[in-house]
Amino acid sequence: MMKKNDKLTRRELIRRGAGLGAATIGLLVLGSGTSGCGGEEGPNCNDTSGLTPQQQSTRSSLGYVAQSPYGTQKNCTNCNFYTAGGAQQCGSCTLIAGPIDPNAYCNSWAAKA
């Protein structure tokens, strides 16, 4: 009799533990789903819908890419043609119209004077 109650208690503990584990996993999934919306990754400077076809063409012909293949050694933040925006905002470029990602790069990159 005592052993049966003991088994039930263990079973109950395991069941509750499994429920708690599932709830924890659910919270972790929810948490990871919202971390990309917090702005830690920087501004979204990919909206070129306000540009004319000519401006969009210039952007692509100069090889603008949102993430520099040279990392922080050569990106818009250290380019002579870049003007920074505010915190968590896109910057601008004297050669390319539209929002410019600070981490972007194009073939006209020139070291800041």
Q: Is residue 96 near ligand SF4 by the rule CB under 6 A?
A: yes
Give the integer Cα–Cα distance in Å for 13 and 16. Answer: 5
x/- mask, ligand SF4, residues 21-60, rule CB under 6 A, reads: ----------------------------------------
CA distance 44 to 72: 18
DSSP, collapsed to helix, strand or coil, labels residue 101 as coil
Tell the smallest beta-carbon distance from residue 41 to ligand SF4 (Å).
18
Say whether residue 90 binds ligand SF4 (CB under 6 A): no
Nearer to ligand SF4, 52 or 94 (CB): 94
- Within a 10 A sphere around the Cβ of 62, how many other Cβ atoms? 16
